[in-house]
Amino acid sequence: MTEIGLEPLLTESQIQERVTELAKQIAADYGETQVLLVAVLRGSIHFVSDLARRIGRADWELDFIQVRSYQSGRKSSGVVQIRKDLDTNLEGRDVLIVEDVVDTGATLAHLRELLGTRRPKSLRVVALLVKEGAIRAGTQVEYMGFRIPDAFVVGYGLDYDERYRHLPYVAILP
């Protein structure tokens, strides 16, 4: 148990090891290509920072998009709204969406559709956490960190009403 009483589902070292593996795989796949990392705010802040620094010799650029599907609380509303758009032109770019967690898959489906209309050369997704429900629904995720149960999780950037983002591990919120 930790000081705030949340039992880690994924420890800091498990997360860090897996992020390193994902970064290696991405670096190998993209090679010399300059990849544009599109981090989905706000949950992916720690993930994108750790991942980007470990992609190594592969060059990368970074931009942010913010969407909103959760009004507040633990359930997806299913309605996806763009709150902050990208500044970068995607045309001809190799785009990698960096997402913290995929739950219903609605956010990703919407993002793929929207960013796809901007004519990127390629469009892939790396998600640290993918819930069983999203896997059952057949949500496409090219790089997956961990498959996790259908529970509400916090930590490592993920919040519950803006709390718990600071935790270095991921825990199920009881």
SS3 119: coil
158 binding ligand IMP? (CB under 6 A): yes
146 binding ligand IMP? (CB under 6 A): no
105 binding ligand IMP? (CB under 6 A): yes
153 binding partner (options ligand IMP, Mg ion, none; Cβ < 5 to 8 Å by kind) = ligand IMP
* Alpha-carbon distances of 81 from 7, 10, 39, 114, 123, rounded to whole Å: 32, 30, 16, 11, 20
> Whose Cβ is closer to ligand IMP: residue 43's or residue 120's?
43
45 binding partner (options ligand IMP, Mg ion, none; Cβ < 5 to 8 Å by kind) = none
- Tokens of residue 155, six digits: 């930590």
Using CB under 6 A, pick the residue from 15, 22, 36, 43 that binds ligand IMP: 43
Query: Dihedrals φ, ψ of 167, to 5°?
Result: -60, 135
# residues near ligand IMP by CB under 6 A:
18
Query: Dihedrals φ, ψ of 101, to 5°?
Result: -145, 140
CA dist., res. 96 & res. 146, Å (int): 18
SS3 content of the chain, % helix, strand, coil (to 5): 25, 35, 40
> Whose Cβ is closer to ligand IMP: residue 78's or residue 92's?
78
164 binding partner (options Mg ion, ligand IMP, none; Cβ < 5 to 8 Å by kind) = none
> Whose Cβ is closer to ligand IMP: residue 146's or residue 152's?
152
Cis peptide before 42 (omega within 30 of 0): yes
96 binding ligand IMP? (CB under 6 A): no
CA angle 94/95/96 to nearest 5° reads: 125
Which residues lie near ligand IMP (CB under 6 A)?
40, 43, 69-70, 76, 99-107, 152-154, 158
Which residues lie near Mg ion (CB under 5 A)?
40, 43, 100
